[in-house]
Structures are given as structure tokens and as C-alpha cells.
Amino acid sequence: MILNIEKTVIETGTTGIWKWRKYSDNTVEFFGKIPLYSTDIAQTFSGWYRGETLFEPTEYPYPFIMTEAPALNMMFQTRNGLGALLWAFSQDAETAQRYVPQCYLIRPTSATGVSGNINIIGRGKI
């Protein structure tokens, strides 16, 4: 048996870096962008290189407090041709319900002046 449960958007808005949609079942989707300017990736790390943490643990709160850590799709998009992978690292459960996880940029070669955006799509329950 297939259940056909329709969700209705009941609210939309903008909060901080986020654009978001709230649905009738208390699911929220949110979309954000964190700009990065002139980041150095020079610390050796298991045959790769990484930079410093990109922001403070509580710098980017979600638009809502989630009932559990939301599902996130996070990607670094370079603006100056110096690409890197984004490594998000774990936090305690309470922080993960409220804030974007801290991140490093990692690359196989060192680089200075890496600039771009962290693009984020999230989905969770409130």
C-alpha cells in the first residue's frame, strides 16, 4: 500500500544566511551560502594539506532548532580556480541540531589565497 501524504508549504522566509521553507509536517528545507576569502591550505595532513577551521562552532545557526542533526549537502565552490574538498567534522548532538558543522578545506597540494563559497542545502524536522 502506498500512502499519498501531501505536504504543504506553510511558511517561507530568510534568516541570516538562509532561505527556508517550512512544511505542514514540521519538515524544513534551508539553503545557504558561506563566503570564504583568501584561505590558506598549507598544513600537512596524511599526505594531503588542510587549512584552519573555516569558522567558529556557533557562527552559523540554522534558521530553526532541529529535533536532531539535519541532513546536509555541503560543497565548496571555488571563485579563483583553486579547488578543494570540504571536510565537515562532527560535533556534539546538541550543537549539531543548531549550527553548521565546522569545516576544513583539504587538497592534495598546498595553496594560498583560496576563495569561494560553501553552498549548503539542508533538511530536517523541528
pLDDT tens column, 48-79: 999 999 999 999 999 999 999 999 999 999 99
Cα 100 to Cα 39: distance, rounded to the nearest angstrom:
19
Residue 104 has pLDDT above 60, yes or no: yes
Residue 3 has pLDDT above 70, yes or no: no
Residue 86 has pLDDT above 60, yes or no: yes
Tell me what pLDDT residue 120 has: 98
Q: Is 94 helix (H, G, I), strand (E, B) or coil?
A: helix
Tell me: the pLDDT tens digits for 30-50? 999 999 999 999 999 899 999
Q: Rg for the chain (alpha carbons), in Å?
A: 17
Cα 57 to Cα 9: distance, rounded to the nearest angstrom:
30
